[in-house]
Structure 1
Amino acid sequence: MAEKDLDTRFQEAVEIAETIPQASLPQDVQLRLYAYYKHATSGNNIVSPNQMLNFDLRNAFKTNAWMQISHLTIEEAKELYIKNILEIHNSRK
């Protein structure tokens, strides 16, 4: 039951995130949110061989942010994503 509740709250946070203009967020916040989202949806599957072929500076920063939170569980990443999105959303009201 708790997992479904977490997944529901995560999906609601994703929907809220889609309404926040990305350009309005500092780059470090964008990277943190990316890392939490990516870890929550993909786990620790950091870099595939296909991604290595197109590895540029932007992707290096994104991958680094994701690697920095690789110690988290998927559930922890979802909780942190939800928390951060709600804080951003509530500060804009």
Structure 2
Amino acid sequence: MTSDLDTLFSDAFERANNTTKKFAPDVQLRLYAYYKQATKGDNFSYNNEDNLKNAFKFNAWIQLKGMDENEAKENYIKLVNSILK
């Protein structure tokens, strides 16, 4: 059974992915990090051969180490809602 938070998170993800609005790079990184923390938790993986863009994404995600997955979902939802009013 899907919780209300999971439904809101899924809806926010769909809204963010289906918008034509361009997000600033720092917002993109925060969305990425919250999403990864919400879906993967602290199960980090990084390939040293990845490009610089992926290094920035990984760094944004690892900064959330220890954040509860539900908290990450809530932060993701808040960020999407603040941008896509």
Please, what TM-score do these two structures have when normalized by structure 2? 0.89
1:45 paired to 2:40: no
Give secondary structure in 2 for the equivalent of 1:72: coil
Separation in 1, partners of 2:74, 2:25: 21
2:65 is the alignment partner of 1:83: no
SS at match of 2:18: coil
Matched, 1:26 2:24: yes
Structure 1 or 2, whichever has the larger Rg, is: 1
Gaps of 5+ in 2: none
Give runs of ≥4 in structure 1 deviating > 3 Å: none
Measured against aligned partners, the alpha-carbon deviations of 1:37-60 in whole angstroms (never above 9, x if no partner) come to 01111111111xxx4153221111
Percent of residue pairs identical: 48
- Aligned pairs, number: 85
CA–CA distance in 1 between the matches of 2:41 and 2:20?
A: 26
Residue of structure 2 equivalent to 1:73: 68
CA distance in 1, matches of 2:15, 2:65: 24
Runs (5+) with no aligned partner, structure 1: none
TM-score, structure 1 normalization: 0.82
In the alignment, the residues of structure 1 paired with residue 50 and residue 43 of structure 2 have an alpha-carbon distance, to the nearest angstrom, of: 16
